[in-house]
A = this chain, B = another copy of it.
């Protein structure tokens, strides 16, 4: 077999079953190998930011690495923003970056670029494969390097791809065992919580699953701690039957206020919380300086075992957890806005749905309103780089084809990776995009005021940089242009009817939801 076939076979043998692709000439032997090797599903996307965001969404819901296939340095460059988000989400991910044949690089042909330089900031592991005879080993090492939620970037020169590999492929190799939290750290965490007057637990990181948060609720109830969930964990299992958790507010001022009375903070799976941005005169660290802090679990650690051990140490297993009971939000009346739309979404939210949240100011209301909705998963934008939501919805839907994906999306955010809609149609994914079309970078109006620039009031030129109303965008037209069924909702009845219909049917659909900005 040639290098490409050896690579593909090794990936498939080691549990990599899906590849998001946007190939070019240097990847043609990889593409050809798809017909020679069974077991790799290939999903074509029209832009590389879709690939990397989709791989992230897929990994969050499957726990498994997806591969991306990228075209030299510039193709990797286009993937960087969502690779940044994926890195912050601690997902396993493998980039396959095609490159010129090794002997061609010295000629500095037009597409030659410093791939290693571009890969560095978004890769935990990097290698440019030097020899077809080594490609299977490189591929296996790349898969293993993704353990614990890391990104591996493997460069595949065209001649490595097309040359023969006499060693064939590598068989399945067990992945590395997750690292264990040291017993001393568990004892320190128990001491911290037991010795405090007003302790708090903040859980975050890659995956706040139902079992983890229920155990943390028992622990919190045992020691009288407040239980918070971080603002933007990668994935949270929540809704009816899940543990009651306060969400740490996004706004630093509000988050500081929420934690102001604590004297001890245990963070589980995440670092101590910090302000998303710096603002003149606002502290960057959210917890009070005087509060003692310990972190339980570094990225890649076995959190479930650690939290169970903490529950043992605190004798918390017999304490009741505080759980949400099922209570669907009532159907609202009145005008269509971000809050009434949130109530509609909460009212109709299908059981086991996956909510991908990149709605910014327009979806702030959806999170609290869905706390008592049927059980569901909630995926957050982890790295702050917008243009993640639509691609992540693609990946989540491919990981869980039997579950409905609800993508809460802002108009500004959507436009970074709007090409995702085409892949939704091509793969007939069960995604309903609620496109909050408020015709502003509304969050930037808020942020402008918070930074205190120009006394918090934008002048006319600044205001025009936050305003995307001219020309007004018709997302239904764009979606239809990419083969996605779409409708416009200009009032609450229309939105409720369209969302209800979307949840009752399968397949991709976009609702262009015309809401006023939350801040106006």
Interface residues of A (CB under 8 A from B): 21, 23-26, 28-29, 31-32, 34-36, 42, 44, 46-47, 49, 72-75, 77-78, 80-81, 83-85, 88, 100-101, 103-104, 107-111, 113-114, 117-118, 120-122, 158-159, 162, 232, 271, 274-278, 280, 284-285, 382-385, 387, 412, 415-416, 418-419, 422, 425-426, 444, 447-448, 450-454, 458-462, 464-466, 468, 470-478, 480-483
Contact = CB atoms under 8 A, between A and B. Distances in A.
B481 A477 contact: yes
Contact of A271 (B108, B285, B451, B461): B108
Contacts of A275: 104, 107, 109
B88 A81 contact: no
Given A80-B78, A461-B35, A465-B31, A110 B382 contact: yes
Given A117-B120, A465-B23, A415 B426 contact: no
Contacts of A451: 25, 28-29, 158, 162
Contact of A47 (B46, B121, B416): B416
B117 A121 contact: yes
A141 to B, nearest CB: 22
Of the candidates A84, A387, A422, the one having the most CB atoms from chain B within 10 angstroms of its own CB is A84
Contacts of A271: 108
Contacts of A42: 461, 464-465
Nearest to A88: B110
A422 B278 contact: no
B158 A277 contact: yes
A83 B114 CA distance: 13
Contact of A80 (B74, B162, B416, B426): B74
Contacts of A477: 477-478, 480-481
A416 B78 contact: yes
B473 A100 contact: no
Given A25-B450, A78-B80, A418-B419, 12 more contacts: A25-B277, A31-B448, A32-B448, A44-B468, A75-B81, A78-B416, A107-B274, A109-B384, A111-B383, A117-B117, A415-B419, A481-B481
A159 to B, nearest CB: 7
B107 A285 contact: yes
A453 B162 contact: yes
Contact of A110 (B44, B122, B232, B460): B232
